[in-house]
Structure 1
């Protein structure tokens, strides 16, 4: 019997590790876990053990579950003290932006959901690459751009600027302390971080660097399993993650398009209308999104058909960009047995907080930078509260059949990127065409840029550019193939059940479909 599994990720070595997991008898969950662990080593500007994870997992019976492994602010978080240090806005990097890292707990939740391989088997490639791996082109660019951030932290300097010189493309990245951490996680499970020896070392190191994250914060953390958000669109069901993530913005954009089906092609002559929809969604995120354990997020009202009809016609209030961000990875997998995973894992900004704890080799995310210090905001910083989150995995079904598994890097623009990819797929584009096509995003890409800015890749068609210009928004031309419009990946399931995978050419990734004899392994 032959087992077939499709895989796409933003780094070829991660895709290869996922393929090897399948060859050892793993399913789509095993493939996703092997890729996710490997990416924390080979793509550390975008994701690490010290980041967060949000995923959708589909079982062969068609059930889809959301794994929310976004970590909260530490119990000792003090908004008044943070404001005294930084003013009325959260800092972009540094110890005050560090929240509890949830990714490893997310891996554990996914493993329990139906993985076929033993937990430790998912770390084989990652631990090997921690001993040395060539710096990929995308990582080399990020290292050069983050020279100041790297210089400011001893742990970062030791890893990314050994001997005082920044690593360049093709040079060897060595992460011995991280390798020891991954070995401990493989041997002792997630408990090694969440209350065990790795957690002890990490908490002590972070305390010395000024972070409020404690061993108790780590030990008390658990990933949350929830029902996904879902809405119908053009005969399909679109699934994504609920608040505290902004997945509702994808459903909002698609729903608003559906309310204006008489309009021109939304990616061509109708792009101006879609840009206004995206702009209004940015405002809704700022006004309404937060941790639903602390604030009510009325998703039904935000997706109400009457409201959606008004989205493209009412002028949104002017706003400025809160925080740039988008350094994230997406891994998408699906197999012929019906297992599928859309996994999004990140640091938020490139190299996250810029704090790399030396004894564990763990680089910490800066998800806390997305908190607000405004007491009126649903996203106000508070102890134990999760920040509003940009990670949002996506699956699409047609009846009982899985149609697409997709995800993207792109920070606050993820809903916009995925809207464009899905609209192209629904219009008949292949996965390769859908992820490679020129894209554009509404919203400031840098801190302080107006949110009505529209950034457009240079190879976007003249009809699209002309339509976007009708909005009156400032236009910024990006190079063709720009990372600013994300790394989107797709697995498509053909009508006969055969999967097709495609990785975004803007990344350093690869996509494969593995056909391998099935090995019977007891659980």
Structure 2
């Protein structure tokens, strides 16, 4: 059993939380030296590419949710298209009945640089200055963490087949030892070049190298879809009401609407229940199943079918179904490797940022000579199912697991947060939000309580897996037996560092004492810092 920090970090001039101590240190240092939340987030994101290389990278994707001091809330979508030549027939002619999960055919255009460009328009410092800690870390090396060693060990055979990845992560075909310095000089040089001209990622020297390499490997990129990925403009957040506050989320292709859907279903119910009791777990599980069913049956990145699930009559019908005593038996349809951060600055700007390579080390494909690993978001997120709204198509973004949330009340921030972990994200975010708003837990307790996870969700590679409810230790054994009597197939899991329970980050505002409270999940080696 993990022992969480007993109290959240408390401060008056800003706060950060992330899944790695040194990432949080970089963000807090930027705030302490006068930078704003945009500056701190950009610096933290780059540093995490070095310290959590299995989870994220500049070749991945990202979503961000921002609340400015006046209360304006907006988002930016950093997910990309698949290749222009990537029609369903293209993949079927290769003898495939689903998209590959790794390799060049699994890659979508990265969206992380586009989101960072949008954020940088609100920053006060140059990209070169903000990325300098990460560039230096790439050259000098960072100590290999237990998480990185475990990630490399899990994927060592595939990484060893890629010359760029093998040199960094598996020299001699073996993962680095914990504490051994991992250097990425090629990535450092790439970041230095992109800091001077970030547009080059999509339309300059980097884009030409990436597209040529992918095309030579059989992925039908034209380069035009790559250039389109450069733009991640402001978008309105999507919003509902929960426990008397406004809950904001990132819009599709993000899965943020699923958190709003669960919130609509659960509002007014969870506050009167034991937050770890069988009735609450039953409602958590069934609300999540309802969201995944609607996602799989109706949703694509270019339709508005998600809105139907949030309509009053649809919510009422779902609540009626869940109110029965037994679990639903119909299967729906994993967890991935992602990382995230939250930052609130002295002016009250709040940024919830989440980025990913999709699976651990993404596609396991690097752009030669750059040190940049590319994501496998297309392979993970798009279906090869005739006529499905999430069927792979040129210029169609695959549905996404990433999402970020924020709660406010009137003119005041209540809390901002996120929780990586594939299809677990939307479930764990809802649970943390309920712990905060329904039961008044402080942020540290809210992110530390045991979690429940419906599996599978709607990842392309897990649709046919047996349906289970994964319950972390700490829940009452009698409650788990009651769930099984209700028809849930319960799988008991330990709570452990690097385990399958995600890694939530939260920063909350305490209006009574006029302070910020920040929390980092004990399931990862993160830290919450306040100034």
TM-score in terms of structure 1 length: 0.92
Give the Cα separation in 2 of the matches to 1:264 and 1:428.
13
Distance 1:195 1:484, change over 3 A: same
Contact 2:416 2:507 (8 Å CA) reproduced: yes
Matched with 1:345 is 355
The alignment partner of 1:484 has SS state of: coil
Q: 1:486-514: CA deviations, max 9, x gaps?
A: 11010011105421111111112111012
Give the Cα separation in 2 of the matches to 1:104 and 1:262.
40
Matched with 1:429 is 441
1:413 aligns with 2:428: no
Offset of residue 473 of structure 1: 2.8
Give the Cα separation in 2 of the matches to 1:325 and 1:96.
21
Matched with 1:233 is 242
Matched with 2:504 is 488
The alignment partner of 1:159 has SS state of: helix
Q: 1:413-438: CA deviations, max 9, x gaps?
A: 11100111111111111111011111
The alignment partner of 1:91 has SS state of: coil
Matched with 1:212 is 220
The alignment partner of 2:471 has SS state of: strand
Distance 1:259 1:167, change over 3 A: same
1:101 aligns with 2:115: no
RMSD: 2.1
Q: How many residues align?
A: 506
Q: Which moved more, 1:231-240 or 1:219-228?
A: 219-228
Give the Cα separation in 2 of the matches to 1:278 and 1:4.
37
Matched with 2:313 is 306
Q: Which moved more, 1:210-219 or 1:166-175?
A: 210-219
Which 4+ residue blocks in structure 1 deviate beyond 6 angstroms? Answer: none
Matched with 1:257 is 266
The alignment partner of 1:374 has SS state of: coil
Offset of residue 139 of structure 1: 1.1
Give the Cα separation in 1 of the matches to 2:65 and 2:153.
34
1:513 aligns with 2:520: no
Offset of residue 88 of structure 1: 2.1
Distance 1:349 1:282, change over 3 A: same
Contact 2:97 2:384 (8 Å CA) reproduced: yes
Give the Cα separation in 2 of the matches to 1:451 and 1:242.
29
Out of 333, 336, 357, the residue aligned to residue 346 of structure 2 is 336
TM-score in terms of structure 2 length: 0.91
Matched with 2:371 is 361
Give the Cα separation in 1 of the matches to 2:34 and 2:364.
38
Give the Cα separation in 1 of the matches to 2:172 and 2:109.
31
Q: Which moved more, 1:28-37 or 1:269-278?
A: 269-278
Contact 2:162 2:364 (8 Å CA) reproduced: yes
Give the Cα separation in 1 of the matches to 2:249 and 2:318.
21
Offset of residue 214 of structure 1: 4.3
Unaligned segments of structure 1, at least 5 residues:
515-523
Out of 475, 498, 501, the residue aligned to residue 515 of structure 2 is 498
1:442 aligns with 2:457: no
The alignment partner of 2:203 has SS state of: coil
Distance 1:240 1:42, change over 3 A: same
Please give the residue correspondences for 1:246-285 in structure 2 after superposition, counting only pairs within 5 Å: 246-258=255-267, 260=269, 264-265=273-274, 267-270=276-279, 271-285=281-295
Q: Which moved more, 1:239-248 or 1:298-307?
A: 298-307
Offset of residue 284 of structure 1: 1.1
Give the Cα separation in 2 of the matches to 1:470 and 1:170.
47
Contact 1:272 1:470 (8 Å CA) reproduced: no
Matched with 1:290 is 300
Q: 1:196-253: CA deviations, max 9, x gaps?
A: 1122222222223333334433223211321111001111100001111211111111
Give the Cα separation in 2 of the matches to 1:248 and 1:451.
25
Give the Cα separation in 2 of the matches to 1:262 and 1:357.
50
Contact 2:31 2:345 (8 Å CA) reproduced: no
Give the Cα separation in 2 of the matches to 1:329 and 1:143.
16
Please give the residue correspondences for 1:314-329 in structure 2 after superposition, counting only pairs within 5 Å: 314=321, 318-319=330-331, 324-329=334-339
Distance 1:123 1:261, change over 3 A: closer
The alignment partner of 1:397 has SS state of: strand
Offset of residue 276 of structure 1: 1.4
Q: 1:21-42: CA deviations, max 9, x gaps?
A: 2233211111111111111121
